[in-house]
Structure 1
Amino acid sequence: MLALSHPAEHVEKWLRRFHATPDCAARLVCLPHAGGSASFFHPVSRALAPTVEVLAVQYPGRQDRRREPPVDNIPDLAEQVLGALRHLDDRPLALFGHSMGAVLGYELALRMRDAGLPPPAHLFVSGRRAPSRYRDERVHEVSDAQIVSELRALNGTDAVMLADPEVLDMILPAIRADYRAVETYRHDPARRLDCPVTVFTGDSDPRVSVDEARAWGEHTTGPTDLHVLPGGHFFLVDRGDRVIATVRRSLTGDHHPADL
């Protein structure tokens, strides 16, 4: 167990709240992809307010936490995020993770149960194969130039940033650590969730096949739902409205006019 700071300080360090939603029906904790930051979910927060409050996780090593060393393994990262969530128990709490964030969400959900906390009301996973479906990926071991090529191929990072040597010097250590975390993670086959799981995947994602996405159903005793949307690894950017509509319905049972 990692030593944690004062609860309020820990929450402030790890979670970003973009829109005040004092009367929200539920909270959605959003976990970014490798190299991603909390700001990626600002549009999600705006769209779901005020019925659902979005809390976006800010990993160390980026944006306002850029001077902190990144965490390069999923178990330690999950334990740290858990410390920020354990006192947020006045509303139903769901998890949404994209790519690396999906693996982190899965591990976090297991740890919430182990800690005696209420289980997530829902786990939403996006752009990631099931924890039991491994590929021999070693991006964390390649050169900086090859990591940049990987990011360009996935089309989820601003091309201007990738062309700026000074920016790359700042962001590549965190990106490499993220890739090491997700590529070296191994799940425990004896452990399963008991919450509902909704899976989103792009039909042309080079990192996830539809069968690999469907296999998330093997990791929970709860109901699972698979949504295959047009697009690649970052289909979420172009199809966010459909994803948000599904999340809203799942957490509140309501249809928003924008969803119709």
Structure 2
Amino acid sequence: MTGFTRWLLRRPANETKARVFCFPYSGVGASMFNRWPRWLDGDVEVCPIQFPARENRIREPHFGTYQALSEDIAEALAPHLDRPYTFFGHCAGALPAYETALRLAESGHPEPARLVVSAQAPPHHCPHDRFLDLDDVQLGAELGAIAVARGGEAHPLLIELTLAVLHQDLEANRVYTRPRTPLPGPVSVVNWSADPEVDLALLDDWRGYSDDVQFHELPGEHYTFLTAPPELLTLLRKG
């Protein structure tokens, strides 16, 4: 595989039948998918995307806006769109996933077989994120909960370091909005059965973002997706 990029956590495999590109949400990086398998059914590859200003890219400047981020990601992924692929984004990660899908369609690149958005209000309702109204103590508690959900520990120093990039990510979220702009391909919208964070009426407003919008309720809470639940992986395998 040529054209490997720092935007991907690992080099994509040549033998894969299809790919699932996974977008991290605010404050964290591609390692949030460390509990996911690399392969779904042995021939669909999970490809976590790494944003700048975190983890192995911590010394790089922040991306600024979702629009600027999507331009860079679209360019970086172009060599790896030579087979069917799906975009997945949970919570705020769904927004750059949508923006990148839109950018690729506008530039004539192969479009995703499906955009899967999880627990996120559509762009025309943005900015819409409960993190935007939290102070540092509350944000630190959320980051600690995320660390535990990922199978780690809520280490104070790590939380302090993560808060810095989280503030920049939230600023990108705070300035993001877009009129309802449809995609040419299908969109799947995921709601988690025990997740109180997103109003179902807002999720329903993804209608109109494609001629083919499907809704799926999966068992679990807001961070259940971190454990790679089989119901979600089955949905992603479908492409």
TM-score (structure 1 length as normaliser): 0.80
The aligned runs of 1:53-202 (5 Å cut-off) are 53-134=45-126, 137=129, 139-140=131-132, 143-151=135-143, 155-158=145-148, 162-164=154-156, 166-189=157-180, 191-202=181-192
**Kindly tell me: are residues 140 and 208 of structure 1, through their superposed partners in 2, closer, same or farther at Cα, counting changes over 3 Å?**
closer
Residues 188-224 of structure 1: per-residue CA shift (max 9 Å, x gap): 33x2112111111212323212222222122112x12
Unaligned runs of 5+ residues in structure 2 are none
The Cα of 1:68 is off from its aligned counterpart by 1.8
Identity %: 31
SS in 1 for 2:161: helix
The Cα of 1:99 is off from its aligned counterpart by 1.1
Residues 148-173 of structure 1: per-residue CA shift (max 9 Å, x gap): 14445xx4233875441x22332111
Residues of 1 paired with 2:117 and 2:128: CA distance?
21
SS in 2 for 1:16: coil
The aligned runs of 1:242-257 (5 Å cut-off) are 242-248=231-237, 250-251=238-239
**Kindly tell me: are residues 205 and 57 of structure 1, through their superposed partners in 2, closer, same or farther at Cα, counting changes over 3 Å?**
same
Residues of 1 paired with 2:185 and 2:17: CA distance?
18
The Cα of 1:85 is off from its aligned counterpart by 1.0
Residues of 2 paired with 1:67 and 1:50: CA distance?
35
The Cα of 1:67 is off from its aligned counterpart by 1.8
RMSD (CA atoms): 2.5
Tell me which residue corresponds to 1:4: none
Check if 1:17 corresponds to 2:17: no
Check if 1:220 corresponds to 2:213: no
Counterpart amino acid of 2:187? V
Unaligned runs of 5+ residues in structure 1 are 1-6, 252-260
CA contact (8 A) 2:125 2:177 kept: no
Residues of 1 paired with 2:107 and 2:74: CA distance?
9
Residues 109-142 of structure 1: per-residue CA shift (max 9 Å, x gap): 1100111111111111112122223466574575
TM-score (structure 2 length as normaliser): 0.86
The Cα of 1:38 is off from its aligned counterpart by 1.1
Tell me which residue corresponds to 1:50: 42
Counterpart amino acid of 2:165? A
Residues of 1 paired with 2:94 and 2:50: CA distance?
15
Residues of 2 paired with 1:98 and 1:137: CA distance?
12
CA contact (8 A) 1:34 1:100 kept: yes
CA contact (8 A) 2:140 2:160 kept: no
- Counting matched residue pairs gives 236
Q: 1:229 aligns with which of 215, 218, 221?
A: 218
CA contact (8 A) 1:210 1:228 kept: no
Residues 78-118 of structure 1: per-residue CA shift (max 9 Å, x gap): 11111211222321122111111111111111100111111
**Kindly tell me: are residues 38 and 49 of structure 1, through their superposed partners in 2, closer, same or farther at Cα, counting changes over 3 Å?**
farther
